[in-house]
């Protein structure tokens, strides 16, 4: 009693402020400014039904264990475990302005980079054992780069083998937090954008970023420069002679073997154009102004150099999935392009991929590529003659030729079509069903679900590590372990080895 | 003596308690960005944003209650000085956010931080005399 009397004013203040803050929070949640996406009854829009049924507050189901994205500005570090987070962005629209003066921006990024990259290395080495061990005698299609052995994903503490792990039920793996194949984030998902491999940056210093470098070791990336095979000139083999195709040499290389339309398309695929962060304005992530990026800067020689990006199809930036560059080889066979956007033709792709962050507003501010229909059609014309690398062990029905294949490859093929059930989704000339599937990987860990992703083709797959949309599986052996767990296949060690050998033959 | 600074004490208590409490409610505090980022960066990313903010919220609420109820002046004074020192960290770890042009052209965030010298003086005026007089009393008692 005495205490209350003595501190009446203090207590009154506390009660007032606490109730005030509490009620403000309830009213603020779910408004346009808030980053917590609670749907509340909309009163501002004209509603023809006056009072919609069930228009009361909907709570976010299934996010109880997730955290709300941290507050960030462009350039600020974001968590590596972004799967643990959810939330709304301030706005769907980007701005071409930096949050500070350009000189400060350069300083800020330069100061942040060393610690960021040290943390990225520690994180990646904590997840993967990049020991650069190659599979004896196996090379990518250019014949120069060895193919890495795996799995290199580290097992969780207390689990002695992938077989032990695969024996556990999904619920148990989730409960004990044992899943080793969680998503991979872009190291800096506030700025995000393209990150090129070191081998590329060494030759193309205009793509050296102030803030971040590639986080995957060179050994686990595709060969550079990769060979290019044409559907129209199978007899010529690799038409590049081991060189990178550039705006300077493409004509010499292709004159007399491709059509004028294809030549025009190839030129456009090689012509750099401004992007969100590689351009001539101060909204850039390079010290010097840049001419931008060309399609074949990532899809080098019609294949990939392993550069990664964020898929443009979601907001806020922290919700966008990391995607590594898929090959363009054999894209002529695909009905479904890109991981989530379900783009149906390569002509169309060349149109939409003008702006990699999917932000037409930014395009206006920074400089549009403004390619006309005819031009994007021609880019599509060139894309559609990029062939798969040779697979001499496959017959026209895409089955192994017994005389040419090894015992192990043949056993692997049997697993692929049998116990492994891979052929349920991976079949036909490209080994894809051209559907998007929700693998429901979140059954195995607490995290924001990634939703349906297209079945990426497996023809020529040995040439395009790392695997999965975000490159979280550095080798084919990791991919096999991943599917063994995710599809609860319970493959034996031998079956998994055979499956890897089979995938190498595709 | 105490009565003269009571108003100042309550004012400090209100601001600490209120702005501290806000930080418990995700996304409600306008200082979230700078507070989270500073603690994360200063702790070499040992904290994630959530932990950082909860830590700071608790820190500020305790100081706020300390001012409001006038308890343990010595402890509160230490926490207060520590907190005050902390609020100036962004000037050094995020000069790009605090200054349009360092050091004499602060941004709004920079002004928000620099005005804390008034806080510092006020807190000192409220707490220091109490600690000093108590300290003297105990020394007298020892004798």
Which tens digits make up the pLDDT trace of A236-283?
999 999 999 999 999 999 999 999 999 999 999 999 999 999 999 999
Q: Are A99 and A74 in contact (CB under 8 A)?
A: yes
| Residues A321 and A434 grouped into a single domain | no
Complex confidence, ipTM? 0.88
CB atoms near residue B7 (< 10 Å) = 10
| Residues A405 and A381 grouped into a single domain | no
Q: A72 and chain B: CB distance < 8 Å anywhere?
A: yes
Is A83 part of any domain?
no
Q: Where are the alpha helices (DSSP H) in A197-317?
A: 198-203, 250-254, 260-270, 295-298
Contact criterion met (CB < 8 Å) for A17 and B18: yes
Nearest Cα of chain A lies from the Cα of B143 at a distance, in angstroms, of 33
Q: What percent of chain A has pLDDT over 70?
A: 94
| Residues A239 and A319 grouped into a single domain | yes
Q: Are A320 and A192 in contact (CB under 8 A)?
A: yes
Q: Which residue in the set B27, B97, B101 is minimally distant from A35, CB to CB?
A: B27
Q: Judging by beta carbons within 10 Å of its beta carbon (0-12, 13-18, 19+), is residue A241 exposed, middle or buried? A: exposed
Q: What is the mean pLDDT of each run of 10 residues along chain B (143 residues)?
A: 80 97 92 91 88 94 96 95 95 93 93 95 94 64 48
| Residues A235 and A351 grouped into a single domain | yes
Is A488 part of any domain?
yes
Residue finishing a domain among A345, A361, A387:
A387
Q: Are A484 and A408 in contact (CB under 8 A)?
A: no
**Structure-token match 């343990």, residue found:** B72
Which tens digits make up the pLDDT trace of A406-449?
999 999 999 999 999 999 999 999 999 999 999 999 999 999 99
Which residues of A fall within a CB distance of 8 Å from B37?
Answer: 71-72, 76
Which tens digits make up the pLDDT trace of A126-149?
999 999 999 999 999 999 999 999
Is A44 part of any domain?
no
Distance CA A346, CA A335 (A): 9
| Residues A263 and A355 grouped into a single domain | yes
Q: Where are the alpha helices (DSSP H) in A29-75?
A: none
Which residues of B fall within a CB distance of 8 Å from A67?
Answer: 48-50
Residues 6+ apart with CB under 8 A from A328: A299, A302, A303, A304, A383, A386
| Residues A310 and A407 grouped into a single domain | no
Evaluate if residue A56 carries a pLDDT over 50.
no
pTM of the model: 0.92
| Residues A361 and A422 grouped into a single domain | no
| Residues A421 and A463 grouped into a single domain | yes
pLDDT at residue A355, as a whole number: 62
By residue range, what is the domain housing residue A260? 198-208+221-387
| Residues A230 and A176 grouped into a single domain | no
Is A268 part of any domain?
yes
Nearest Cα of chain B lies from the Cα of A53 at a distance, in angstroms, of 30
Q: Are A286 and A299 in contact (CB under 8 A)?
A: no
Q: Which residue of A has its CA nearest to B61?
A: A14
| Residues A482 and A421 grouped into a single domain | yes
Q: A65 and chain B: CB distance < 8 Å anywhere?
A: no
Which tens digits make up the pLDDT trace of A192-243?
999 999 999 999 999 999 999 999 999 999 999 999 999 999 999 999 999 9
Distance CA A277, CA A290 (A): 9
Tell me if the bond preceding A316 is cis, omega within 30° of 0: yes
Is A63 part of any domain?
no
Dihedral Cα A482, A487, A488, A491, nearest 10 deg: -60
Q: A85 and chain B: CB distance < 8 Å anywhere?
A: no
Domain ranges of chain B: 2-142
pLDDT at residue A58, as a whole number: 46
Distance CA A63, CA A202 (A): 43
User: Which of A316, A313, A310 minimizes the C-alpha distance to A90?
Assistant: A316
The CATH number of residue A141's host domain is 1.10.760.10
Q: A27 and chain B: CB distance < 8 Å anywhere?
A: no
* φ/ψ (deg, to 5) at A133: -85, 125
Residue finishing a domain among A343, A364, A387:
A387
Is A419 part of any domain?
yes
Nearest Cα of chain B lies from the Cα of A170 at a distance, in angstroms, of 28
| Residues A366 and A406 grouped into a single domain | no
pLDDT at residue A345, as a whole number: 82
Evaluate if residue A360 carries a pLDDT over 50.
yes
Evaluate if residue A46 carries a pLDDT over 70.
no
Q: B84 and chain A: CB distance < 8 Å anywhere?
A: no
Residue finishing a domain among A387, A420, A439:
A387
Q: A110 and chain B: CB distance < 8 Å anywhere?
A: no
Is A20 part of any domain?
no
A409 versus A345: the higher-pLDDT residue is A409
Contact criterion met (CB < 8 Å) for B69 and A10: yes
Look up residue A123 and give its two tokens. Answer: 């994180």
Q: How confident is the model at residue A62 (pLDDT cuts 50, 70, 90)?
A: low
| Residues A437 and A482 grouped into a single domain | yes
Distance CA B122, CA B15 (A): 12
Number of structural domains chain A divides into: 2
> What is the number of CB-based contacts under 8 A between chain A and chain B?
76
Q: What percent of chain A has pLDDT over 90?
A: 81
Task: Compute the mean pLDDT over every residue in chain A, rounded to the nearest whole number.
Answer: 92
């Amino acid at each position: 009693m005495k205490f209350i009397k003595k501190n009446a004013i203090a207590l009154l203040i506390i009660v007032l402020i606490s109730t005030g803050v509490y009620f403000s929070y309830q009213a603020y949640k779910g408004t346009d400014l808030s980053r917590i996406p609670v749907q509340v009854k909309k009163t501002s829009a004209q509603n023809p039904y006056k009072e919609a049924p069930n228009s009361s507050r909907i709570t976010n189901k299934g996010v109880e264990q997730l955290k709300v994205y941290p507050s960030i500005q462009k350039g600020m570090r974001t968590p590596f475990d972004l799967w643990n987070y959810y939330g709304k962005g301030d706005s769907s629209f980007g701005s071409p302005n930096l949050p500070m003066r350009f000189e400060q921006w350069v300083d800020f990024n330069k100061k942040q980079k060393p610690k960021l990259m040290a943390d990225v290395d520690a994180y990646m080495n904590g997840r993967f054992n990049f020991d650069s061990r190659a599979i004896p005698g196996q090379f990518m299609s250019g014949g120069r780069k060895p193919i890495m052995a795996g799995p290199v994903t580290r097992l969780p503490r207390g689990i002695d083998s992938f077989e032990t792990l695969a024996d556990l039920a999904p619920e148990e793996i989730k409960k004990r937090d044992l899943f080793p194949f969680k998503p991979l984030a872009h190291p800096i998902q506030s700025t995000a954008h393209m990150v090129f491999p070191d081998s590329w940056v060494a030759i193309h210093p205009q793509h050296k970023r102030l803030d971040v470098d590639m986080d995957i070791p060179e050994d686990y990336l595709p060969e550079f420069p990769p060979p290019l095979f044409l559907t129209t000139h199978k007899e010529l083999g690799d038409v590049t002679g081991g060189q990178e195709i550039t705006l300077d040499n493409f004509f010499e290389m292709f004159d007399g073997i491709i059509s004028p339309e294809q030549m025009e398309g190839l030129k456009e695929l090689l012509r750099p154009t401004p992007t969100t962060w590689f351009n001539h304005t101060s909204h850039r992530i390079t010290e010097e102004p840049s001419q931008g990026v060309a399609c074949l800067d990532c899809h080098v020689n019609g294949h990939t150099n392993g550069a990664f990006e964020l898929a443009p199809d979601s907001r806020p930036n922290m919700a966008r999935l990391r995607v590594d560059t898929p090959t363009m080889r054999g894209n002529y066979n695909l009905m479904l392009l890109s991981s989530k956007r379900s783009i149906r033709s390569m002509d169309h792709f060349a149109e939409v991929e003008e702006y990699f962050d999917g932000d037409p507003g930014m395009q206006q501010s920074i400089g549009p590529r403004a390619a006309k229909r005819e031009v994007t059609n021609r880019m599509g014309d060139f894309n559609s003659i990029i062939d798969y690398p040779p697979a001499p062990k496959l017959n026209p029905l895409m089955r192994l030729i017994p005389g040419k294949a090894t015992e192990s490859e043949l056993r692997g093929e049997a697993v692929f079509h049998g116990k492994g059930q891979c052929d349920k989704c991976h079949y036909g000339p490209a080994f894809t069903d051209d559907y998007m599937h929700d693998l429901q990987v979140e059954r195995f860990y607490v995290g924001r679900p990634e939703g349906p992703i297209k079945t990426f083709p497996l023809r020529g797959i040995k040439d395009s590590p790392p695997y999965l949309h975000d490159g979280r599986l550095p080798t084919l052996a990791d991919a096999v372990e991943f599917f063994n767990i995710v599809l609860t296949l319970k493959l034996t060690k031998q079956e998994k080895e055979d499956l890897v050998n089979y995938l190498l033959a595709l | 003596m105490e009565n003269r600074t009571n108003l100042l004490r309550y004012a400090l208590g209100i601001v600490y308690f209120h702005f501290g409490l806000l930080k418990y409610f995700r996304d409600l505090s306008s200082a979230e960005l700078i507070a989270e980022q500073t603690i994360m960066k200063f702790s070499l990313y040992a904290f994630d944003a959530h932990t950082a903010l909860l830590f700071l919220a608790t820190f500020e609420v305790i100081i706020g209650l300390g001012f409001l109820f006038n308890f343990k002046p010595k402890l509160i004074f230490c926490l207060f000085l520590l907190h005050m020192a902390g609020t100036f960290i962004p000037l050094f770890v995020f000069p790009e956010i605090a200054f349009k042009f360092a050091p004499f052209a602060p941004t709004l965030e920079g002004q928000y931080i620099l005005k804390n010298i008034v806080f510092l003086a006020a807190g000192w005026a409220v707490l220091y005399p109490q600690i000093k007089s108590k300290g003297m009393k105990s020394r007298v008692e020892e004798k």
